[in-house]
Amino acid sequence: MNRLLLAAICALLPLTALAAAPEDLIREADAAYTAGQYELALARYDSVLRGGWTSAGLHYNLGNCHYRLLHTGPAILHYEKALKLAPRHAAARQNLRLALRRVNEAQEPVPDLFIQAWLSRLYLQFSSAGWAWLSVMLLWAALGGGALFLFGPAPRWKRIGFFGGILLLLLALTCAGLARSRLSDERSSRYGIVLASSAFLKETPESPAPLLTLYEGYKVELHAYQGEWRKVLLRDAAHGAVWGFVLASELGEI
């Protein structure tokens, strides 16, 4: 009996420790950052992250710590992670721009087609949660339309309820689809940031000579995992699209 109790306590102990920790750690980290002790702040925020917690704000603060410590690659990585969770985080976007200015003048982004840019901006306007809430609201509004159709006092109201309800239902389903798609984007790593000061992009892992040298802060599309190598696609205005392999240890995944 005693042994069973002990086992239960042992099993629950780490959970309670984690549950209590983050607020305190964040408070400590905020204070350290304000005092200019960026390394301490970084360590505290990092332990919150390691404890299995996350948020756009946490990554944003981590990005600031790294930026202050002149770790520009990791700063870029964390700002990108913040933006992945909250696409409209204006401060993260601003600081990311600043961090990018520090490193990779060489990688010019490929300009998107007008329509594509417009659509992707709309898509990125909300996180998966944002699209999900939007779909919930639209679906409930569609229910209102349905109720109007079923119990409307006059044929005119019934008609409005019917067509309005169908329109809202279609919109709700579209938003639900976008939420799903955003969710799968958020759960997978589609991009990587070069963290090493320079990294070789090789045609195959065995190639002796690199195709290109990538510098800290470069952003690449992740396409496959192959042992300690990652198959990536580099897009920039100077080279167009280049496929290759980069060592996993030199990349951070967004």
Residues forming contacts to other proteins in the complex (CB under 8 A) are: 22, 26-27, 30, 33-36, 48-49, 52-55, 57-58, 60-61, 64, 67-68, 91, 94-95, 98, 102, 128-129, 131-133, 135-136, 139-140, 142-143, 146-147, 150-151, 176, 179-180, 182-183, 186-187
- At 145, is the secondary structure helix, strand, or coil? helix
Least distance to other proteins, CB of residue 36, Å: 7
Contact present, 108 and 237 (Cβ < 8 Å) = yes
Dmax over Cα atoms in the chain, in whole Å? 79
Element (H, E) at 22: helix 2-34
In the numeric block, which tokens belong to residue 141? 């509004």
For other proteins, which is the closer residue by CB, 33 or 229? 33
Q: Which residues contact 119 (CB under 8 A, 6 or more apart)?
A: none
For other proteins, which is the closer residue by CB, 12 or 233? 12
- Closest to 234 in 3D by CA, of 243, 226, 225: 243
Residues counted in the chain: 254
Which residue(s) pair with 215 in the sheet? 198
For other proteins, which is the closer residue by CB, 169 or 242? 169
Least distance to other proteins, CB of residue 229, Å: 26
Least distance to other proteins, CB of residue 251, Å: 20
For other proteins, which is the closer residue by CB, 141 or 212? 141
Contact present, 217 and 158 (Cβ < 8 Å) = no
Q: How many Cβ atoms sit within 10 Å of the Cβ of residue 244?
A: 22
How far apart (Å, rounded) are the C-alpha atoms in residues 80 and 4? Answer: 46
Least distance to other proteins, CB of residue 67, Å: 6
Least distance to other proteins, CB of residue 189, Å: 14
For other proteins, which is the closer residue by CB, 186 or 253? 186
Least distance to other proteins, CB of residue 52, Å: 5
Contact present, 60 and 95 (Cβ < 8 Å) = yes
For other proteins, which is the closer residue by CB, 119 or 150? 150
